[in-house]
Structure 1
Amino acid sequence: MTDSAALRRAEAVRHFNRFYTKHIGALHERLQKSAFSLTEVRVLHELARGRAQTAAVLTRNLGLDSGYLSRLLTNFERRKLITRRASESDARQSLIALTDEGHAAHEPLDTAAIEVVMAVLERLTPNSQEQLIGAMRVVERLLDDQPRRGIVTLQPPRGGEYGWLVHRQAVLFANEHGWDQSFEGMLAKTVADFTLNGDPQREICWIAEQDHSIVGTAMVVALSATIARIELLYIEPDMRRLGIGTQLMDECVRFAKRVGYTTLTLSTVTALAGSRRLCERAGFVCVSSAPELHFGRELTVERWERGL
């Protein structure tokens, strides 16, 4: 990345921060009809979510300074909004919970917050609402210091998602490896063949979703009555090494066995080390390797195979 590119991206993030801070400030002004600050509302909401928590957990979950939180909790205790009791597992920690008065103070604030956000969403069409929520989830996922090992579900692509998969992979491989538009053309042809001529009994495509965001995909297509091939395999960069690729590969193998194929193949290139590791862990063996010109690059193309 050049210095100018880094500066441009930093300025874009700052611009978004200013916009979002201003927007949230406007929402808060409409919401704030109580004696609680925005931070106090966040702490009340965190405590209202369920079981009692320690100050250390609150500090971590809310990103607050421990000294500031300590003063805030002391004020809550004085107002009889919280109780503190020693933790049975760690006597150095106190478990904090809302009192009945604390719940009574939080409930109207929570209701008002929901009403304010719903009023904002009502200005948008349902499709735009889903687009906004999806973008928020992507921002949250990308900025999370520790990628979550949340539940990943596999399901068939919905309307528009086949085209999105072509776009997403074309962008990723262009940025990461410099592959040209012929790769996008190959992806588009694979998707077109599958959606127009695929056999739903013997071929399948999955998207891997976490928190309603697509984090990967894989497709099994027939080459003959006994041989199938894995296509369109990819994992979002920030979600790699979390077991999602293994989950997709295992599902491809199970499907191929169930349908009755005797051999499952996959083509990759030597430069894609992650793809090669997935093949090895899933029991595939590299049966051929040759230099070829593909996607505007000299690549070493490998064909991997697994007997079923």
Structure 2
Amino acid sequence: MTVQDIRAFNRFYTGLIGALDYGRRLYAPYTLTESRVLYELAHAPSLDAADLRGLLGLDAGYLSRILNRFEEAGLIARGPSESDPRRRRVTLTAAGQETAALLDERAQDTIGALLDGVAPGDRSRLAEAMRTIQDILGEEKRPEGGVGLREPLPGELGWIVQRNAALYTAEYGWNAEYEGLVARIVADFAEDHDPHLERVWIAELAGRPVGCVMCVRDDAPGTARLRLLLVEPEARGHGVGDRLVRAVIDFARGAGYRDLVLWTNDVLSSARRLYLRHGFVLGTEKPHRSFGKDLVGQDWRLELHGPGD
């Protein structure tokens, strides 16, 4: 591959995007960046301004001007963050939710029209090609010293078991019953998994593993399950958990799943805030006795595709 190959692809893709937004009605009356801000707020209802800057790579002053315009138009409300009083939480108002839904409906219809012209047999090839580009050139490839995501190296499935057992014992006093559960989950994945539908990520910081997460098929048709999310204490605050959860969501959506579910416990407050930020909705709660503790289990769900997708 040469530089000219990439430039040719860029010209093609830019032209395709321009054709999709013919007449500039897709985002009107907002800019593309403003529409992206509305999208993130609609899909992660507990974001603050710092989260938005990180997600979208925006200048602080530019984002502030956008949020000021949205607030004046009655699209957002700002208040103190529940997790950090130094931050300001940004939430959509009812009018903001309606606006975001309208923009999302336009995008769904536009992409749906594009896919109507793609033969059914070619759609899986197209999705795989998109995932390949993201894997090779996307944000998972970070410079040395930054946070990167990758597949596990030989021996690191065992590391997932060991670190889960050690951390949950140290932080929550869970017993070996939890280590046995993690070992069974990892063993099932190692022995039999479909790489197109299931995947494990290792988060790496400064050349060593600092986190992990897994996406596997659930028993319910069209549903994926997020499992074994873990971030080492010294790596917290670097956005590792956000990157791991986002990787699972993007992978599950690209693989064609309709829903993404997970099970956690109410004592894991940081993880629950992370799930809320990414748009998961709490379903059922049930007290149980596990891992040597009295806990409250929680089932969470994220809808990945709307009806008719």
How far has the Cα of 1:284 moved from its partner?
A: 0.2
The CA deviation string for residues 70-117 of structure 1, in whole angstroms up to 9 with x for no partner, is xxxxxxxxxxxxxxxxxxxxxxxxxxxxxxxxxxxxxxxxxxxxxxxx
1:198 alignment counterpart = 193
Residue number in structure 2 paired with 1:258: 254
* Shift of residue 150, structure 1, vs aligned partner: 4.6
- The answer for the alignment partner of 1:185 in structure 2 is 180
Aligned to 2:98: none
1:208 is matched with which residue?
203
Secondary structure of the residue aligned to 1:298 is strand
**Which 10-residue stretch deviates more, 297-306 or 235-244?**
235-244
Q: Which residue identity lines up with residue 190 of structure 2 in the other structure?
A: T
> Which consecutive segments of 4 or more residues in structure 1 shift more than 6 A?
none
SS in 1 for 2:248: helix
In our comparison, the structure showing a higher alpha carbon Rg is 1
Work out whether 1:274 is the aligned partner of 2:274. Answer: no
CA distances 1:160-193 after superposition (whole Å, capped 9, x unpaired): 1100110111011011111010100000000000
| 1:264 CA drift (Å) | 0.2
1:160 to 155, 163, 172: 155
Aligned ranges for residues 28-43 of structure 1 at < 5 Å? none
Mean CA deviation greater in 234-243 or 261-270: 234-243
For 2:266 and 2:190, how far apart are their aligned partners in 1?
A: 29
CA RMSD of aligned residues (A): 1.3
In structure 1, stretches of 5+ residues that fail to align are: 1-148
Would you say the 8 A contact 2:145–2:207 is kept in 1?
A: no
Match of 1:151 among 140, 146, 154: 146
For 1:276 and 1:235, the matched residues in 2 are separated by: 14
Contact 2:266/2:295 (<8 A) preserved: yes
Q: Is residue 305 from structure 1 mapped to residue 290 from structure 2 by the alignment?
A: no
Q: Which of 168, 177, 185 is 1:173 aligned to? A: 168
Residue-pair matches, total:
160
* Shift in Å, 1:153: 1.0
State how far apart, in whole Å, the 2-side matches of 1:257 and 1:277 are.
21
Report SS of the residue matched to 1:271: coil
Maintained 8 Å contact 2:266/2:298: yes
Residue by residue over 1:179-231, the C-alpha shift from the partner in whole angstroms, topping out at 9 and shown as x without a partner, is: 01010000000000001011111000000001111111010000144001111
Structure 2: which 5+ residue stretches go unaligned?
Answer: 1-143, 305-309
Q: Distance in 1 between matches of 2:190 and 2:198?
A: 10
Task: Note the 1:76-115 alignment, pairs <5 A.
Answer: none
How far the C-alpha of 1:275 sits from its partner, in A, is: 0.6
Query: TM (normalized to structure 2)?
Result: 0.51
Q: Percent identical across equivalent pairs?
A: 40
Letter in 1 for 2:180: G
AA in 1 matched with 2:294: E
1:283 alignment partner, SS class: coil
* SS class of match (2:237): coil
Distance in 1 between the 2:238 and 2:285 partners? 28
Distance in 1 (alpha carbons) for counterparts of 2:268 and 2:145: 25
Alignment of 1:11-160 (within 5 A): 150-160=145-155
Check whether the contact 2:202–2:213 (CA below 8 A) recurs between aligned residues. yes
TM-score, normalization by structure 1? 0.51
Alpha-carbon distance in 1 for matches of 2:191, 2:162: 19
